[in-house]
Chain A
Amino acid sequence: MQQDASNADLPLLSMRGIEKRFGALLANASVDLELRSGEVLGLLGENGAGKTTLMNVLFGMYSVDAGSIHIDGRPVSISRPADALTAGIGMVHQHFHLVPRHSVLENLMVGEPGRGGRLDAASARRRLEDIASRYGLELDPKALVGDLTVGEQQRLEIVKALFRGARILILDEPTSVLTPQQSESLFRAIRAMAADGVGIIFISHKLNEVLEITDRLTVMRRGRVVAQIDNEAGLTRQKLAELMCGHPILPPDKRRLETGRTLLRLSGVGVDGDHGHRPKLSEITLDVRAGEIVGVAGVSGNGQRELAEVIAGVVAPSSGTIEIDGNPVLATNPRSMQRLGVAHIPEDRMGAGLLTTLPLSDSVMLPLAHKAPFSRFGWFNRKAVRKFVLDQIKKFDIRTEGPEVRTGTLSGGNLQKALLARELALDPLVLVAAQPTRGLDVAAVEFVHNQFLKLREVGRGVLLISEDLEELFAISDRIVVMYEGHIVGNLDASATTPAEVGLLMAGAKAA
């Protein structure tokens, strides 16, 4: 038919002149984006560059102030997620939207119309098997979602989108929760889907992956598209980082340092599991020396969080001993660990770190408020507090309108800077940082890393817990690998490879 012939030239999706304003902030300024059938488009940009806004517009979470969206050349109106699904747009968020107590098949059928009020499990199952075999996205239809690995849950999210007829798939930071091996299998599926004509928008901060998987790149900065380029040979990470931030990014300067005395020592530390489950930590023995960054690698949920919380004093160990700078820890609570010299950047920044609905000033003062000079006989020294917070805002270049602004309105990178500022104000011997750069953009990551390297230079120790191997290799001196609550590897960072660490993360050495 004639329409088919003309459709072949038309882009699958085109967004034209998209404009979205939040108060004084122009989040998207006449943004154009095009996606062709069978193409993997990388969408790059720092936090706050407008990627998320643009995708939320496309998925119907926000209404636009100006601009239009066309699919197969025809204008479509998307004012809610249901419209997006009808138009063939699927989105896999960083945080999954699944029902853990339901099976894979039941999760797929949520929102399905069914037949005469009855759910048609048999046909759903056939379609699931069809999608699975076509793209290598195998899943057991009867498995409970709560029992799936993170990689499998993500696979289910992708299958769910395809199941609903998505021809345009948005993947938001899909590899941030995966091991290198799981990422490889995701990439195979992406290639298979693209070969079948699905258009894929791939959002990631990991530039290596972007270079590996995408065909074309759209780079955003401050709400505008600053580059639309093909992913050709000769394109480098350096070049991409420069496009994203508008200035060159230097790789962290990591000279070898003499390490000093042991600042943190864990010997045989264990934490029991809940009600008969396997221990969350078993027999952890670990040293962090002065002038050393020790990286902790592992797939999410293998005991890293418990490790951080034991050292921070939030969780009491059920066995083993902890020493800080040679002093045995007798009572584990956060305040006593702070006094001994431990600072902690929790993995869950919003949930365990900050006071989102209170002013920024309160969030910054949280572990400091009871100390001199901020507290005098229990009275708040408001002048000293204000001066301190303003100083920190300046020193850490926290982009905000002032200490009174509600904490939750800051961007992720700025929240992390605020958290870092206050923990460093404790002047710690050891800093335990869990996923400190997750979700941050290139410039913010660079800033955080430089702070860690500075600590290392002045003879402090850093325990860096991260799921991002690139990060661990960039700044750690040593890398320990956790698997099911054990330490399964303790490696010199300059003498190992991401592949070796990846295998250990997947449990190659255990069992």
Chain B
Amino acid sequence: MQLRLETRVRTPAWMNLALPVIAVFATLVLCSGLIVAAGADVLSAYGALFQGAFGSRVNLVETLVKAAPLVFTGLAVAVAFRAKFWNIGAEGQLLAGAMAAAFVGAREGLPAWSLVPLMIAGGAVAGGLWASVPALLKVRFKVDDVVATLMLNFVMFYGMMALLSGPWKDSLSGYPDSPDIRMEAEFPILLEPTRLHLGVLLAGLGAVLVWLLMTRTTFGFAIRAVGENARAAAHSGIPVNRVVFLTAVLSGGLAGLAGVGEVAGLHFQVMATLSPGYGYSGIVIAMLARLNPLGVIPSAIFFAAIATGAETMSRATGVPVFLADVIQGASLICMLIALLFTQYRLRVQMVMRDA
């Protein structure tokens, strides 16, 4: 028997929807081995996970609140990857946005009504500026974007820690935290008494706007063309470097907004644990969504659900919370394998060999 892959002439439409579902299902099946190894029942563990993520209004809101920054970092990566700008730096850009928001939100001299809009704008600009550094290095000097964006994450994180331990440290706190933002700068709560804040709404709105940009505007067209075939785009007169640069800045701005939401909606300050790797998760989320901005929403919710549900699962069944990380990682691998089948079909054939 022989297995071989043959090129598909076209991808059936149902596959685009079915493949992520199949990939998620395959992930859960794969990870059930670990649950068994942890001595728990697979169905009750996954049941507890689901319960923890969606089982009550509070749980559902917690999942959505957790999904908000993931939507933004997922969008940031999806946009950049479309142009083949390999932005691994959403983490640093998120921190840049968060710091800008925390700085602006704590200004006493500003009128109260201007704080929220200024924090949003400032966070987006800061994220975009931070992303413009590797973008400029790439288009001007052909510096590898993967390495540059990744390394700048550490520059930003330790730069932030240096500020928080010194000049920017909250004098009232014993930890390296920034001073709290003003009450008026906090994002309004959409659903009392939960933590559902404005940032969640912004994330959904952001996904729709980015989707419109990518599919309905000539700039979105240019991004796709440059990412697909930069040489052909250049031959046809599209200013490739400018498109790559602007895409990178847009991507950084979106990541910056993730940071704004965390500061203005949740923590009201920046501190070391502000982001548990939202920027890196954004990469996986964007891939799971196949770089489709609307797909980023369910993909981010999936991620958030795994994270929030894992604690409930752990409490109920004793399976370690680290299973969440395994599921998230395995889902990327399953999705990458699933993607293969959009381009190829698997043929099984029997071969008779001469003796």
Q: How far is the CB of B60 from chain A (nearest CB, A)?
A: 36
The reply on A344 being an interface residue by CB < 8 A is yes
- Kindly report which residue of chain A lies nearest to residue B2, judged by CB atoms: A79
> Complex Cα distance A379/B235, Å?
22
Q: Which residues of A contact B162 (CB under 8 A)?
A: none
**Which of A63, A312, A374 has the most chain B CB atoms inside 10 A of its CB?**
A63
Q: Which 4 A-B pairs have the closest CB atoms?
A: A335-B237, A367-B236, A334-B237, A366-B236
CB within 8 Å of B: which A370-425 residues: 370, 374-375, 378-380, 382, 405-406, 409
The reply on B353 being an interface residue by CB < 8 A is yes
The reply on B229 being an interface residue by CB < 8 A is yes
Partner of A366, one of B233, B349, B351: B233
Q: How far is the CB of B313 from chain A (nearest CB, A)?
A: 40
The segment from A185-193, A346-354, A457-465 that touches chain B is A346-354
Residue pair B237, A355 in contact (C-beta under 8 Å): no
Q: Which residues of B contact A344 (CB under 8 A)?
A: 235
The reply on B234 being an interface residue by CB < 8 A is yes
Can you list 7 contacts pairing A with B, beta carbon distance less than 8 Å? A354-B229, A358-B225, A362-B221, A378-B217, A380-B216, A380-B217, A406-B11
The reply on A23 being an interface residue by CB < 8 A is yes
- Tell me the count of chain B residues lying within 8 A, CB to CB, of chain A: 33
> Complex Cα distance A78/B20, Å?
37
Q: Which residues of A contact B352 (CB under 8 A)?
A: 77
- Kindly report which residue of chain A lies nearest to residue B220, judged by CB atoms: A380
Residue pair B221, A351 in contact (C-beta under 8 Å): no
- The contact string, 1 if C-beta is below 8 Å from chain A, for chain B 95-117, is 00000000000000000000000
Q: How far is the CB of B235 from chain A (nearest CB, A)?
A: 5
- Kindly report which residue of chain B lies nearest to residue A336, judged by CB atoms: B237
CB within 8 Å of A: which B217-244 residues: 217-222, 224-225, 228-229, 231-239
The reply on A314 being an interface residue by CB < 8 A is yes
The reply on B9 being an interface residue by CB < 8 A is yes
Residue pair A354, B232 in contact (C-beta under 8 Å): yes
Residue pair A367, B237 in contact (C-beta under 8 Å): yes
Q: How far is the CB of B210 from chain A (nearest CB, A)?
A: 15
**Interface range, A side:** 35 or more
- Kindly report which residue of chain B lies nearest to residue A349, judged by CB atoms: B232
Residue pair A77, B235 in contact (C-beta under 8 Å): no
Residue pair A370, B235 in contact (C-beta under 8 Å): no
> Complex Cα distance A451/B11, Å?
34
> Complex Cα distance A87/B147, Å?
49
Q: Which residues of B contact A378 (CB under 8 A)?
A: 217-219
- Kindly report which residue of chain B lies nearest to residue A22, judged by CB atoms: B9
Residue pair B232, A355 in contact (C-beta under 8 Å): yes
> Complex Cα distance A372/B179, Å?
52
- Kindly report which residue of chain A lies nearest to residue B9, judged by CB atoms: A409
> Complex Cα distance A43/B220, Å?
46
Q: A369-B225, A378-B219, A379-B218 are in contact. List 5 more A-B contacts (CB 8 A).
A: A77-B352, A313-B237, A335-B239, A362-B225, A369-B221
The reply on A338 being an interface residue by CB < 8 A is yes
The reply on A333 being an interface residue by CB < 8 A is yes
Residue pair A382, B235 in contact (C-beta under 8 Å): no
Q: Which residues of B contact A358 (CB under 8 A)?
A: 224-225, 228
- Kindly report which residue of chain B lies nearest to residue A355, judged by CB atoms: B228
- The contact string, 1 if C-beta is below 8 Å from chain A, for chain B 341-355, is 000000101011110
Residue pair B237, A333 in contact (C-beta under 8 Å): yes
> Complex Cα distance A375/B222, Å?
12
Residue pair B10, A382 in contact (C-beta under 8 Å): no
Q: Which residues of B contact A357 (CB under 8 A)?
A: 228
Q: How far is the CB of A71 from chain B (nearest CB, A)?
A: 12
CB within 8 Å of B: which A109-163 residues: none
> Complex Cα distance A355/B234, Å?
12
The reply on A365 being an interface residue by CB < 8 A is yes
Q: Which residues of B contact A313 (CB under 8 A)?
A: 237
Q: Which residues of B contact A380 (CB under 8 A)?
A: 215-218, 220-221
- Kindly report which residue of chain A lies nearest to residue B353, judged by CB atoms: A77
The reply on B142 being an interface residue by CB < 8 A is no
Q: How far is the CB of A417 from chain B (nearest CB, A)?
A: 17
Residue pair A63, B4 in contact (C-beta under 8 Å): yes
> Complex Cα distance A410/B234, Å?
22
Q: How far is the CB of B312 from chain A (nearest CB, A)?
A: 42
Q: Which residues of B contact A353 (CB under 8 A)?
A: 232, 235
The reply on A356 being an interface residue by CB < 8 A is yes
> Complex Cα distance A313/B238, Å?
12
Q: Which residues of A contact B215 (CB under 8 A)?
A: 380
Residue pair B225, A366 in contact (C-beta under 8 Å): yes
Q: Which residues of B contact A351 (CB under 8 A)?
A: 229, 231-232
Known: A63-B349, A334-B236. A355 touches B221 (CB 8 A): no
Q: Which residues of B contact A405 (CB under 8 A)?
A: 10
Q: How far is the CB of B297 from chain A (nearest CB, A)?
A: 23
Partner of B222, one of A333, A334, A338, A369: A369
> Complex Cα distance A76/B6, Å?
23
Known: A79-B351, A334-B237. A406 touches B10 (CB 8 A): yes
- The contact string, 1 if C-beta is below 8 Å from chain A, for chain B 64-79, is 0000000000000000
Q: Which residues of A contact B231 (CB under 8 A)?
A: 351-352
> Complex Cα distance A439/B226, Å?
27
> Complex Cα distance A352/B222, Å?
15
**Which of B234, B237, B347 has the most chain A CB atoms inside 10 A of its CB?**
B237
Q: Which residues of B contact A352 (CB under 8 A)?
A: 231-232, 235
Q: Which residues of B contact A312 (CB under 8 A)?
A: 235
Residue pair A379, B222 in contact (C-beta under 8 Å): no
Known: A79-B2, A358-B224, A366-B233. A375 touches B218 (CB 8 A): yes
- Kindly report which residue of chain A lies nearest to residue B212, judged by CB atoms: A379
- Kindly report which residue of chain B lies nearest to residue A24, judged by CB atoms: B9
> Complex Cα distance A333/B216, Å?
26
Q: Which residues of A contact B219 (CB under 8 A)?
A: 378
- Kindly report which residue of chain A lies nearest to residue B351, judged by CB atoms: A79
- The contact string, 1 if C-beta is below 8 Å from chain B, for chain A 211-243, is 000000000000000000000000000000000
> Complex Cα distance A379/B351, Å?
55
Q: Which residues of B contact A79 (CB under 8 A)?
A: 2, 349, 351
> Complex Cα distance A258/B11, Å?
52
Q: How far is the CB of B347 from chain A (nearest CB, A)?
A: 7
Known: A22-B9, A351-B229, A354-B229. A365 touches B221 (CB 8 A): yes
Residue pair B218, A370 in contact (C-beta under 8 Å): yes
> Complex Cα distance A351/B352, Å?
40
Q: Which residues of A contact B228 (CB under 8 A)?
A: 355-358, 362
**Which of B217, B224, B234, B235 has the most chain A CB atoms inside 10 A of its CB?**
B235
